[in-house]
Amino acid sequence: MSGESAKSPTERFEQALDHPRNERFLLRLYVTGMTPKSTRAVENARRICETHLQGRYDLEVIDIYQQPKLAEGEQIVAAPTLIRKLPLPLRRVIGDLSDTERVLLGLDIKRAEP
């Protein structure tokens, strides 16, 4: 019996819900200068991406002080804000991204445990 056929229907369904392993993620992190919170958010975003999306992501860090029009276009009301642009639909997480589980669930990279 192969490993795939040994899985329960529920396990196969949940696996099908997960993002394909070759799907690329486009993430934008909006920060306000080099404040401690912004620096933590950048470090946390890079760590999360390398751990959970290795080789499948593009992370853009945008300082809203230097590029205010981009932040205005995205309707950024708090910073740091991480936005998953692709794959659609858009997802947003606000804060320094220190709660990895919350970030993964918020960006729909990981499914909630039942």
Q: What pLDDT shows up at residue 110? A: 81
Amino acid 2: pLDDT? 44
Predicted pLDDT at 18: 54
Cβ proximity of 27 and 84 under 8 Å: yes
Low-confidence ranges of the chain (pLDDT < 50): 1-4, 15-16, 19
| Exposed/middle/buried for residue 110 (C-beta within 10 Å: 0-12, 13-18, 19+) | middle
For residue range 41-66, list pLDDT tens digits in order.
999 999 999 999 999 999 999 999 99
Domains recognised in the chain with CATH numbers: 24-106 (3.40.30.10)
Q: How far apart are CA 71 and CA 33, in angstroms?
A: 13
Average of per-residue pLDDT values in the chain:
86
Give the helix ranges, DSSP H, for 1-114: 9-17, 36-52, 68-73, 100-106
Q: List the structure tokens of 50.
A: 């390398």
DSSP state of 84: E
Q: Can you tell me the distance from the alpha carbon of 100 to that of 75, in angstroms, rounded to the nearest whole number? A: 24
